[in-house]
């Protein structure tokens, strides 16, 4: 699952994921991501930190409450990553952080 308020970014990353043999779904905000995740049950979710309706950290916190998503891995995918964001992401339950624009190899390493 790819969660980014920039739909072009999410769609482009989804295309790369699908090109490598994986299913992908996109969401443009936290509310949509909660709905998509509940039906899609992603193995991995790439989540932007700044979403229109909540932070990526708030979203991951809510997603981690769903027992059906217990094995989902969460990767922060943000255009701005500094030590403070990395610490907040870890505290929120992210498993890894990647900076946009993401290198194709780094994206594949997560899959």
pLDDT digits (tens, 9 = 90+) for 41-87: 999 999 999 999 999 999 999 999 999 999 999 999 988 888 898 99
Name the H helices within the chain: 7-19, 30-40, 56-63, 83-92, 104-110
| Res. 3: pLDDT tops 90 | yes
In terms of residues, how long is the chain? 111
User: Is residue 34 in some structural domain?
Assistant: yes
User: Is residue 61 in some structural domain?
Assistant: yes
Q: Write down the pLDDT at residue 81.
A: 83
Q: Domain containing 34: what range?
A: 30-42+57-69
User: Is residue 37 in some structural domain?
Assistant: yes
pTM: 0.93
Number of domains in the chain: 1
pLDDT band at 4 (very low <50, low <70, confident <90, very high): very high
User: Is residue 38 in some structural domain?
Assistant: yes
Query: Residue 48: which region, alpha, beta or left (left: phi > 0; alpha: psi -120 to 50)?
Result: beta
User: Is residue 62 in some structural domain?
Assistant: yes
């Amino acid at each position: 699952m790819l969660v980014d308020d920039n739909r072009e970014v999410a769609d482009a990353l989804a295309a790369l994921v699908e090109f490598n043999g994986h299913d992908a779904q996109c969401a443009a905000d936290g509310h949509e991501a909660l709905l998509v995740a509940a039906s899609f049950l992603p193995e991995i979710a790439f989540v932007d930190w700044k979403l229109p309706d909540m932070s990526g950290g708030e979203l991951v916190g809510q997603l981690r409450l769903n027992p059906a998503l217990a094995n989902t891995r969460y990767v922060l995918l943000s255009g701005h990553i500094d030590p403070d964001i990395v610490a907040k992401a870890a505290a929120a339950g992210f498993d890894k952080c990647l900076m946009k624009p993401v290198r194709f190899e780094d994206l594949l390493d997560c899959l």
